[in-house]
Amino acid sequence: MHDDSPVKLVDDDSTFVAADLHLAWAAYADAHGMSANDRVCLVGELNAAIEAVDGATFVVTPFERSAVLSDALGMSAEGGVWVKDETGGVGGSQKARFLFSILLHLRAAERLGHLAKRPPLAIASCGNAALAAATLAKAAEWPIDVYVPTWMGDGFGDRLDALGARVHRSERRDDDPPGDPAMFRFRDAVAAGAVPFTVQGPENALCLDGGRTLGWEIGTQFPGEHIDRLFIQVGGGAFAAATSQGLDSVHGTVPLYGVQAVGCAPLERAWNRSTGADSVAKVWAEAMTVWERPSSLADGILDDETYDWVGVVEAMRRNGGVPVVASEADIEAAHRLAREAGYNVSPTGAAGLAGLLTVRGDIAPNENVVVVLSGVTR
């Protein structure tokens, strides 16, 4: 059943139904005898349970040319700034898409009798990913452990508590290597049998399966001939890698601009260090190293390592994109601008737009450029 031809979504408001033929979880379910109708029912059941918890559900999110942003950036009528608006998505950001494909895989495994009992889910995050994971876990009535840094605010902890997540503040231990202690405790939990319910491809590649829906939607919704550039804010990198891969597969190659803040730019550093290497993955240890003391107003993209950097660099090499490092001034300006344009977005969620501001001088007024605004401010 699995369809490797160029991706074409069927006409359905429910993204994961529209994309069924192209999703890995569905191919797995199909290979073990779960019918297309049963898969649609499974998506529908979970969507209803998620809506009851969150108020939102997995439907195709809005995509439009923003007149305010296009005018502010001096784009002409033939071109413009196109916004994929993820602020109304499940959990208020794009993150839940990545987790939903893992959850569907798990629920399919249960239905097929491949999973006798429910191991706990585990994630390391104190941002939109943790919220999305706790929301989905509550909807599915599946236990979840969330590993967070010691500095996480109490308000955020309260929201995770309200969703029934077990929250673990993760101290740095004397024998920890450089990197995020919450990530180390998460990996310990996975080694002990938890399911990596994560938005990082190297920890669970099934997250990239659902992430691609974002690129498929953008490519399908764009009404014009060709998108000239795609700007995506980069933290761990799964968002950029999956969206670019998805978009290219429905729309032809669109250069990806992976945007980081000047106070945390391990991707650009790895891009430079891996120049000329035939295989990016082979130079991982030298190229992708931990960024010391990350800092930015865009605090959701302060991952000290770009975990999915290989996917992001390979996408940019393939489609002619480059990394962009935005100044704090551009991050602040983009946030202001996005809010003036009517989007209730966080500085993190507007950081892709900051990258567009940074390289605005290289872009012709008649180009069509896409940003994803995500991460609602509550």
| In the complex, least distance from residue 306 CB atom to ligand PLP, rounded to whole angstroms | 7
Strand bridging mode 63-65 / 229-233: unpaired
C-alpha torsion sign, points 243, 245, 250, 254? positive
Sheet holding 195-196, edge to edge: 166-170, 144-149, 121-124, 195-196
d(CA 345, CA 313): 27
d(CA 374, CA 36): 31
| In the complex, least distance from residue 69 CB atom to ligand PLP, rounded to whole angstroms | 17
| Both tokens assigned to 36 | 């297309």
**Span from 63-71, 121-129, 275-283, 329-337 in contact with ligand PLP (CB under 6 A):** 121-129
| In the complex, least distance from residue 3 CB atom to ligand PLP, rounded to whole angstroms | 26
Report DSSP letters for 128-161, one per residue.
HHHHHHHHHHHHHT--EEEEEETT--HHHHHHHH
Distances (CA, A) of 327 to 343, 346, 358: 21, 16, 8
Sheet holding 63-65, edge to edge: 63-65, 80-85, 368-373, 229-233, 256-261, 322-326
Task: Note whether 244 and 319 are within 8 A (CB).
Answer: yes
Task: Note whether 232 and 244 are within 8 A (CB).
Answer: yes
The CA-to-CA distance between both ends of the chain, in Å, stands at 42
- Per DSSP, 345 falls in state B
d(CA 144, CA 180): 20
| In the complex, least distance from residue 280 CB atom to ligand PLP, rounded to whole angstroms | 17
Report DSSP letters for 79-103, one per residue.
SEEEEEE-TTSGGGSTHHHHHHHHH
| In the complex, least distance from residue 118 CB atom to ligand PLP, rounded to whole angstroms | 26
Task: Note whether 136 and 103 are within 8 A (CB).
Answer: yes
| In the complex, least distance from residue 303 CB atom to ligand PLP, rounded to whole angstroms | 6
| In the complex, least distance from residue 233 CB atom to ligand PLP, rounded to whole angstroms | 4
- Which of 81, 183, 238, 250 lies at the binding interface for ligand PLP (CB under 6 A)? 238
Task: Note whether 20 and 10 are within 8 A (CB).
Answer: yes
Q: Which is nearer to ligand PLP, 28 or 216 (CB)?
A: 216
- Which of 79, 196, 235, 311 lies at the binding interface for ligand PLP (CB under 6 A)? 235
Task: Note whether 58 and 16 are within 8 A (CB).
Answer: yes
Q: Which is nearer to ligand PLP, 47 or 94 (CB)?
A: 94
| In the complex, least distance from residue 95 CB atom to ligand PLP, rounded to whole angstroms | 6
Residues 72-111 contacting ligand PLP, CB under 6 A: 93
Q: What would the x/- binding string for ligand PLP be over residues 282 to 311, using CB under 6 A?
A: ------------------xx-x--------
Q: Which is nearer to ligand PLP, 235 or 323 (CB)?
A: 235
- Which of 204, 274, 319, 374 lies at the binding interface for ligand PLP (CB under 6 A)? 374
- Which of 21, 29, 129, 250 lies at the binding interface for ligand PLP (CB under 6 A)? 129
Q: How many chain residues touch ligand PLP (CB under 6 A)?
A: 20
Q: Which is nearer to ligand PLP, 57 or 244 (CB)?
A: 244
Q: Does the protein bind ligand PLP through residue 239 (CB under 6 A)?
A: yes
Q: Which of 101, 195, 121, 204 is nearest to 165 (CA)?
A: 121
Q: Which is nearer to ligand PLP, 296 or 348 (CB)?
A: 348
Q: What would the x/- binding string for ligand PLP be over residues 331 to 360, using CB under 6 A?
A: -----------------xx-----------
Q: Which is nearer to ligand PLP, 28 or 100 (CB)?
A: 100
- Which of 61, 66, 101, 128 lies at the binding interface for ligand PLP (CB under 6 A)? 128
Q: What would the x/- binding string for ligand PLP be over residues 177 to 216, using CB under 6 A?
A: ----------------------x-----------------
- Which of 103, 139, 234, 302 lies at the binding interface for ligand PLP (CB under 6 A)? 234
For residue 298, count other CB atoms closer than 10 A to its CB: 29
| In the complex, least distance from residue 374 CB atom to ligand PLP, rounded to whole angstroms | 4
Binding stretches for ligand PLP (CB under 6 A): 93, 127-129, 199, 233-240, 300-301, 303, 348-349, 374-375
